[in-house]
Structure 1
C-alpha cells in the first residue's frame, strides 16, 4: 500500500512538473509571438510577397509594353529570388488603386501618379528615371506644322488630345499652365469653355497620332514623343511642330507600397540601380519609357507636383 501511495505521489509530482514546464514553454512561445508582432510594427520588417507584381501604365501600346518588360521582370526575379510579374494597367489611377490594395507592389508611375499614391496610400518613392542626363523634363504642345497655330492663344476653340487626366506631362502641367495663362478657374472650364472638344487618347503616342491624322488640333505629351513614331510615320518630325513647353517636371518614379519589408525594398532598389551597368536592362527601360539610367529619388523632389496637384484636387475627379 505504501509502495502504491509512493508511486501515486511520484506520478503526481511528475504531472505538476510537466505542467510547470509546459507553462514555461507556453510563456516563451507567447513572448516570441509578441516579439514577432512587435517586430512587424517596426520600420525594418514588413511583407515579402511570394510573387512580386510590378505595375506599368501605357505611354505607348499596352501589348508592346507587356512584351518588352518581361526580360526585366525575369531578371529582377532572379536577383530577388522570387517570381516577378509585370502587369500593364489601363491608366495611372488604376495603378495607384492597385498599389493601394497591395495588388501591385512596385509601380512605374509618373510624378503626378506618385503624388496621388503618396497622399492616398503612403506609397514611397525610391528611384527616378534619368533622360538625356537629367532628372527632370518638360511637357510639349504638338500641333500640325500647317495648322497656323503659333501661340497658346491660338488653341482657343481647338480640339485637345491628352493621354489621360492622371498624366503629369499629358495633362496636369499643361492644364495648369493654360489655366494660369488665361485665368481659368477649373480644369472643367478649360476643357469645355477654352477648348471646343477634348479626347482622352490612352497614350502619348496616340495623342500625337491624332494630331498627325487631323483628328485633334493639339496634343500635350512628354518631350519628344515624335521620336517614338518616326519608324511608322517617317515624316512626323516635319508634319508635327512643338508649339511650346511647360516648366520643368520631375521625372517618372519607381515607387513601392508601404507594406513591403524595408530590407527587401533596399534589395529592390539596389537591383534596379545595378541595371545601370547592364546594357540589356537599360535598353528595356529605354524601349518602354525612354529611360537612359536610374537614380535615387526622395519625396521632397516632387513638391512642385504636389503644389500643382493642389489646384486640381476638386476639379478633375482625382481626389
Structure 2
C-alpha cells in the first residue's frame, strides 16, 4: 500500500514538472517572436535611405535676359537640393538652362531632355502631350488692374500690392518714338485708335506661344478690330523682353506687347542700360489692356527617365517650401513669382481656348 502511494505521488510530481517545462518553453517562444517583430518595425521606420538622382535639369524661358536669369537662379540649386533631400531625394547636380525661345523649353520637356520647366500657360498647353503641370505661380497684385488703358496712364507708376493673385494682364505699350507718342496722346485724350494707325506702327512681339507677348495681344486685336498680329505690316520678334525694351527705348519699334509689371522690371535698365534720360514711366504709355492670363507653370516632363509621381510630388512640395522662404522669394522674383500652389491640367482650359483662336487666325 505504501509503495502504491509513493508511486502515485511521484507520478503527480512528474506531471507537474513536465507541464512547468512546457509553459516555460511557450513563454520563451512568444518572447522571441515579439522581439523579432520589434526589430522589423524598427528597420521599416528607419527606411532604406534617400533615392539618389545624378542630375535634375531645369529649363527657364527667356522672358528676361538669359544671363540675368542664370545669375539670379544660381541659389535655387542649393535651395532645391536641400528641400529634395528632406523629401527623400539626394540630387547630385541641378542643371539650370535658359531656352533660346519659349518653344525650345516646351520641346525639351516633351523630349524628356529637360526634367522640369518654368513655362507660361500658353507654352504648357502647346506641349501638354509631353509635359504635365505641377504648380501655378502666385504673384502680387498690381495697383492698376483696369480694362481701360487710360487708367493705367493716369495712375503711374504701377506698384505691387500685398494680396496674391493667380493671373496677370498683358499690355500694349507705346514707346518714346514719334509714332508711339502720337498713339499714346490719342488714348489719353479718350479717343479710339484705328487699326490703320496701329498698322502704321512697328511692333515688337515674343514667340507665338507667349501668352503676354503674343497670344493675348492677338486676341485683343481680334476682339477690337477683327484682325490679328499676322495682319500687321511691321512686326519684329524679340528673343527676350529685355531686348524688346531696348529696341523700344532706341525708337526702333513703336509698340511692344508684354506682361503688366514688365516696366517695373526694366525701370533701372531704361536709363542705365538703354540710355534714356527720362524714366520709363514718363516715356511709355499703355494703349491696350488684355483680360487676365493664368499664371506661369512649373511643369514636369512625362518622358524624363527619372520623373514619376513620387518625384513630381517632391518637386511640388520643394517649390512650395522655397516660395515660402525669404531667400527663396528673392530667387523666384526674377519671374515675378512670389509663391506656388498645386495645379491641375484643367486650370489651363481657358488657355487652350485662347490657343485655338490664335491658331485659327494664323
* Same fold flag (TM > 0.5): yes
Aligned residue for 1:215, secondary structure, equals: coil
Written as runs of structure 1 = structure 2, the 5 A alignment for 1:218-297 is 218-234=255-271, 235-259=279-303, 260-286=307-333, 288-297=334-343
Change (3 A) 1:199 1:240: same
1:117 to 112, 122, 127: 127
1:298 CA displacement: 1.7
The answer to whether the 8 Å contact 2:169/2:290 transfers is: yes
The equivalent of 2:82 in structure 1 is: 78
The equivalent of 2:198 in structure 1 is: 155
Aligned residue for 1:313, secondary structure, equals: helix
1:65 CA displacement: 0.7
1:229-270 CA-to-partner distances (Å, cap 9, x unmatched) read 221224111101111210110000001112411111101110
Partners of 2:115 and 2:59 lie apart in 1 by 8
1:297 CA displacement: 1.6
Unaligned runs of 5+ in 1: 1-46
Partners of 1:294 and 1:171 lie apart in 2 by 24
Aligned residue for 1:69, secondary structure, equals: helix
Partners of 2:361 and 2:104 lie apart in 1 by 19
1:275-303 CA-to-partner distances (Å, cap 9, x unmatched) read 133111110100x2011222222212211
Residue 305, structure 1, aligned to residue 346, structure 2: no
1:187-219 CA-to-partner distances (Å, cap 9, x unmatched) read 5xx43x4x2311111112322332222111110
Change (3 A) 1:152 1:77: farther
TM-score, normalised by the number of residues in structure 1: 0.77
Task: Say which is worse superposed, 225-234 or 254-263, in terms of deviation.
Answer: 225-234
Aligned residue for 2:258, secondary structure, equals: strand
Partners of 1:300 and 1:130 lie apart in 2 by 17
Partners of 2:193 and 2:169 lie apart in 1 by 16
Change (3 A) 1:165 1:49: farther
The equivalent of 1:18 in structure 2 is: none
The answer to whether the 8 Å contact 1:208/1:221 transfers is: no
Greater Rg, structure 1 or structure 2?
Answer: 2
Aligned residue for 2:270, secondary structure, equals: coil
Partners of 1:170 and 1:152 lie apart in 2 by 20
Give the aligned length.
261
The equivalent of 1:135 in structure 2 is: 166
Change (3 A) 1:267 1:179: same
Partners of 2:350 and 2:115 lie apart in 1 by 25
1:127 CA displacement: 0.7
The answer to whether the 8 Å contact 1:111/1:253 transfers is: yes
Aligned-residue CA RMSD in angstroms? 1.9
1:84 CA displacement: 1.3
Change (3 A) 1:95 1:48: farther
Change (3 A) 1:101 1:141: same
Partners of 1:276 and 1:200 lie apart in 2 by 32
Partners of 1:152 and 1:174 lie apart in 2 by 15
TM-score, normalised by the number of residues in structure 2: 0.68
1:216 to 247, 253, 263: 253
Partners of 1:99 and 1:58 lie apart in 2 by 15
Partners of 2:270 and 2:216 lie apart in 1 by 27
The answer to whether the 8 Å contact 2:79/2:322 transfers is: no
1:48 CA displacement: 8.1
